[in-house]
Structure 1
Amino acid sequence: MILFERFGFTHTGQATITVSAVSVMSGVGSPDPSRLGFFLLSEESLIQVLLELQSNPSFCVLDSKYIHLLFTFRDLSPPPHSSFNHSYPITSPNEYSLFFANCAPESAVSMNVRTELYNLDGRGRVKDFLSAGLTHLPSLYFCFSVLYFAFLAYWIYICLQNKKSVHRIHLLMGVLVVMKALNLLCAAEDKHYVKVTGTPHGWDVLFYIFQFIRVVLLFTVIVLIGTGWSFLKPFLQEKEKKVLMIVIPLQVLANVASIVIGETGPFIKDWVTWNQVFLLVDIICCCAIIFPIVWSIRSLRETSKTDGKAARNLAKLTLFRQFYIVVIGYLYFTRIVVFALRTIAAYKYQWVANAAEEIASLAFYAIIFYMFRPVEKNEYFALDDEEEEAAELALKDEEFEL
C-alpha cells in the first residue's frame, strides 16, 4: 500500500486519477489485474481495515467493504499503451487518504501517476485544491502578516522615541519581526497559489528562505535575551556561545527536513524519517535555549547576595523568571497544544490549529517586546530607595527559603 495524499472533501469534492505507461512485472506468471488498484480510505475506516489485515494476513485491502474503490487495473486500456483517466465525485464528504494497493504476490509496478483532489465552489465552476480544513489559510496568513507589519511600525516608533535606550538586541528584535511578517506574506501567497493551481510552486522558495532566517533569528534572540546580551552585558560566555553553535546548525537541519516534507509527499520512501528528524531537532533546540535563561537566573541570584544594588538585581531576577515562564509557555503551547488541536479538530476546522499557533506567536512577541522595550525609565531598572530596602528584605527572605 502506498499513501499518495490526504485531502478533506466537501459535498462538491472530486478526485481525478490519471495513470499512464503502466507496466506490471511478475515472476509467477501474469498477475490478476483486479489485485492492483486505487482506493480512498477515511480515517474512521482505517482502523477497520487494519483489523481485517491483522485477522487475515493474506487479505487484500481491495476486497474490503470499508474502502471506497476507485478502479483496478482491469479498467486500464489494453497494452502497449496501458492508461486510465477518470474523475470521481465524492458522495460522502469527509477526509480521505488516497492509496494504491498491490495485492499480486511477487509483482512490481511501474507507472506515471497524476492526481487531482479538489473541491468545487458553490457554482460548481472554480476548483479549490486546498483541503476543506485549509482553504482559509491564505486569508489567515495575510491578516497576520498585516498585523506584524503594524507591529514593526510601532516598534520602530518606540525605538525612535527612545534612541538613548536602544541596544543592539532591540535592532535584532526588529529584524525578527520583519522576517516573521515576510514569512507570513509568502506563506499566504504560496497557499493561495496551491489553492488556485494545485501545485506548490508560487513563492515557496522565498517562503523557505524567510522561514529559515525567522526561525534561526527567533532562537538566537531568545538565547541572547536569556543571557542578558547587549543591555545587561556586551559579551557572551563560552558556554552561551556553544548553545548558539549547537542551535543554529540544528535549525539548518530542521529547515532542510521542513523543505523535504513540504515539497514532497507521504509516497516517498524517507518521508516519515524526515518528519521524525524535524520533530527530534525541534525538541533538542527547544530544550537547548532554556539553559541560558536558567544560567542568568542562577547568576543573578548569586550576585544578589554580594552586590549592594539589591533592588535592581531582584528586578532583573523577576524579569528573567517571567521571561523563562513566557518562553516555556510559548514552546509548550506551539509544540503540544497546537499538535493536540490538529489531532482532535474535525477535518473542516484544521485551520483553527494554525490560527491558534499564530495567535500564540503574536502574543509571545508582544509580551517579550514589551518586557524588553527600549525605554529610559524601565520599571525593572529604575527603582527608588524605598524599593531598594524592600528588595533587600525580599532577597533575604528568598535566601532563607532556599
Structure 2
Amino acid sequence: MKAQWLVLALFCFLSNWHRVHASDLILDDDDRKTIQVATFGFLSGGFFHLQLDHFKLSHPEDSGRIAFYIRKGRRMLDDDSDGRSDPNEQGPENEDAPLQACFLDNSYIENEVEDGTAVIQELKQGETSLVWNTTVDIKDEGVWQILLISCSESTMSGHIHIDQVNPNNNHLSAGDTPLPVVYAVSALSYGAVAAYWTWLLFRRDAQVFRAHWLMLVLVCCVLVYKALQSAKYYYKMIGILTEGWRIGFYIFASLKGLLSILIIVLLASGWMFIKPFLSVKDKRIISVVIPLQVVANIASAIGNEAAVGSTDYSFWNMIPPLIDLAACGVVLWTILQTRKHLSTAGSAAEGKERNIVNGYKLWSSFYVITLVYIYVTRVLVQLLQASLPFRYVSWLGEAVSEMATLSFYIFIGYKFRPYPNNPYTQVPSDDLDLELENGIGTSRAVDEDTLRMTVSRSAKADKDND
C-alpha cells in the first residue's frame, strides 16, 4: 500500500511541471524540412535576437537552400516528419499555383516578403554560425513565428538560441504579460478562502471530518503554488531565470496535485459520504481513469519542458488533452449512472428510507457543477485561446480557468462545510460501510432491503449512544 502511495506521489510531482518557455533548440542530425523554432507575441518596439552556432550538414557539399523564415500570423506551418508545407498556406491569390520542391521557391512566400509579413534570412553554403537582430515596428505587431526551412537532402545539426523581448525589457509574450497579476490575484483569493475555512473548522458547533482538514491543506498548498507561479512569471518578465524558484514551485505543485487527486478519489469513491452507492465496478473504473489522467499530465509536462522545435513536441502536446477528455468522460458517465440508480431507488422507497435516499440525491448538484467545471477548463478555455486577439490569447484563458477552479473549490467547500446535520456528511456507521463494501456495494442498484438495513443500523447506533 505504501508503495502505491509513493508511486502516486511521484506521478503527481511529475504531472505539475510547467514550461519556462525554453529558448534553446538543439538539432542533432535532424532530417525535417520545416522546423518551428519559436512563436512570440511582439508589441511595437519589441525585438528578437537569434543566434545559430555549430551548424553543420551531413553532406557539406549539398547546395540546397537553408534559411530562417520569419512570418507574421496565427496559423502554423505543418511540421510533421516529412516536412511538407500545407497547401492551404498559399493564400487566396495563389490557390492554383503548384507547390515547388523547395518550400522557399513558392510564389506566395515571395509575396509575403514583398508585403512585409515575412522575412527570410538565408544561410550561405558552408556557413556554420549566424547572428540576427530584428526590431518590430508598430505595423508589425502580432504573433510572429520563426521557422527553419531546409531544401537540402542533408540532415542538420546545431544549436539555436533566441532571445525575444517586448518594450520595457519585458521578456514575456504579449499575451503572457498580465499572468503575474492573474496568479497574484488568484493567490490572494485562495488566502481569503483558507482563512474563512479555518474559521469554520474551529467553530464550537462544527462537525469536522478528516476530509475537511485535507481540504484546508489543499487550499493552503494552492495558495503557495499560485504565489510562486506569480513570482516565476514576474522574474521571467524582467529577464531573471533562477533555478531557486523551481525547487519550491515543484514541491508545492506536487503537493497540490497529490491532494487534488486524493480528494477527488475520496469524493468519487464515497470513502466518507456515498460509499454504499458506488459499486466495485465503478471503483475499478475510477481507479483506472485517475492514473490515466495522471499519465496525461506527465505527458503534458514533458511537452511543456521540450523546446518548441523538438521532434517530439507536437506528439506530447496533442495526445494528452484527448486522454484527459476521455478520462473525464468516463468519470462523468459513472457518476451519472449512479445518479440514475439513486433516482430509481428514491421513487421506490417510502418513509424514513426515502428521506435517506433524498439526502444522497443532494449529490446531483455536485455532479452537475463537476460537469460544468470540466467543460469550462477543458473546452471553453481552449476555444478562447484559439479565437482571442494575440494580446489576450494566454492570460484571459488562464484567468477564466482560475476563476472556474476557484468557484469549483468554493462550491465543494459550501456543500461539505462542517456544520451540524449537513446532509452531505450523514453517513452510515463504519461497520455498515465495511459490509456494503464487501457485499451489497457490489450491486449496481440500491434496493429497499439496503435502505431498511441503513435505517436499522442508524436507529441502533442512536439507541446505543443514548
Shorter-normalised TM range = 0.7 to 0.9
Residues 306-332 of structure 1 deviation map (CA, whole Å, 9 limit, x = unaligned): 363223422431x21111110001101
Q: Secondary structure of the equivalent of 2:58? A: strand
2:352 maps to 1:332: no
Which residue does the alignment assign to 1:314? 358
| TM-score normalised to structure 1 length | 0.81
CA contact (8 A) 1:40 1:98 kept: yes
Residues 210-231 of structure 1 deviation map (CA, whole Å, 9 limit, x = unaligned): 4444345334423432444314
Runs of 5+ unmatched residues, structure 2 = 1-33, 77-85, 427-466
Measure, in 1, the Cα distance between the counterparts of 2:402 and 2:418. 25
Measure, in 2, the Cα distance between the counterparts of 1:39 and 1:198. 29
| TM-score normalised to structure 2 length | 0.71
1:116 CA displacement = 0.8
CA contact (8 A) 1:16 1:85 kept: yes
CA change 1:132–1:354 in 2 (3 A) is same
CA change 1:3–1:90 in 2 (3 A) is same
> Structure 1 residue aligned with 2:112, among 66, 72, 91?
66
Identity %: 27
2:236 maps to 1:194: yes
Partner letter of residue 320 of structure 1?
W
Partner letter of residue 12 of structure 1?
G
5 Å-filtered alignment, 1:91-240, equals 91=137, 92-104=140-152, 106-121=153-168, 127-161=169-203, 165-197=207-239, 199=241, 201=243, 203-233=245-275, 238-240=280-282
Paired residues, what number?
A: 368
Q: Secondary structure of the equivalent of 1:374? A: coil
> Structure 2 residue aligned with 1:372, among 416, 422, 429?
416
CA contact (8 A) 1:129 1:198 kept: no
Q: Secondary structure of the equivalent of 1:71? A: strand
1:30 CA displacement = 3.9
CA contact (8 A) 1:142 1:188 kept: yes
Residues 339-384 of structure 1 deviation map (CA, whole Å, 9 limit, x = unaligned): 11100000101211111111111111111210121111437789xx
Measure, in 2, the Cα distance between the counterparts of 1:368 and 1:172. 13
Runs of 5+ unmatched residues, structure 1 = 122-126, 383-402
CA change 1:199–1:15 in 2 (3 A) is same
CA change 1:374–1:231 in 2 (3 A) is farther
Partner letter of residue 402 of structure 2?
E
Of stretches 271-280 and 88-97 in structure 1, the one that deviates more from structure 2 is: 271-280
CA contact (8 A) 1:326 1:364 kept: yes
Which residue does the alignment assign to 1:283? 325
Residues 288-307 of structure 1 deviation map (CA, whole Å, 9 limit, x = unaligned): 33245335424533543236
Which residue does the alignment assign to 1:43? 73
5 Å-filtered alignment, 1:240-389, equals 240-304=282-346, 305-306=348-349, 308-309=351-352, 310-317=354-361, 319-350=362-393, 351-378=395-422
Partner letter of residue 104 of structure 2?
V
Measure, in 2, the Cα distance between the counterparts of 1:364 and 1:266. 33
1:166 CA displacement = 1.4
Partner letter of residue 337 of structure 1?
L
How large is the Cα RMSD of the aligned pairs? Answer: 3.0
CA change 1:247–1:379 in 2 (3 A) is closer
Measure, in 2, the Cα distance between the counterparts of 1:162 and 1:334. 37
Residues 71-130 of structure 1 deviation map (CA, whole Å, 9 limit, x = unaligned): 2113x8x76xx32213100121110111111123x1222222111111121xxxxx2111
Residues 153-192 of structure 1 deviation map (CA, whole Å, 9 limit, x = unaligned): 1111112216652122222222322232232222212222
CA contact (8 A) 1:229 1:236 kept: no
Measure, in 2, the Cα distance between the counterparts of 1:49 and 1:368. 47
Q: Secondary structure of the equivalent of 1:269? A: coil
Which residue does the alignment assign to 2:50? 17
CA contact (8 A) 1:219 1:247 kept: no
Of stretches 268-277 and 193-202 in structure 1, the one that deviates more from structure 2 is: 193-202
Relative contact order, higher structure (CA 8 A, sep 6+):
2
Measure, in 2, the Cα distance between the counterparts of 1:108 and 1:133. 35
Q: Secondary structure of the equivalent of 2:351? A: coil
Structure 1 segments (4+ residues) deviating >4 Å: 44-48, 50-54, 198-202, 232-237, 379-382
Partner letter of residue 18 of structure 1?
Q
CA change 1:184–1:44 in 2 (3 A) is closer
1:194 CA displacement = 2.5
CA contact (8 A) 1:212 1:252 kept: no
Which residue does the alignment assign to 1:31? 63
Partner letter of residue 398 of structure 2?
N
CA contact (8 A) 1:316 1:381 kept: no
CA contact (8 A) 1:189 1:202 kept: no
Which residue does the alignment assign to 1:86? 132
Which residue does the alignment assign to 2:440? none
1:278 CA displacement = 1.4
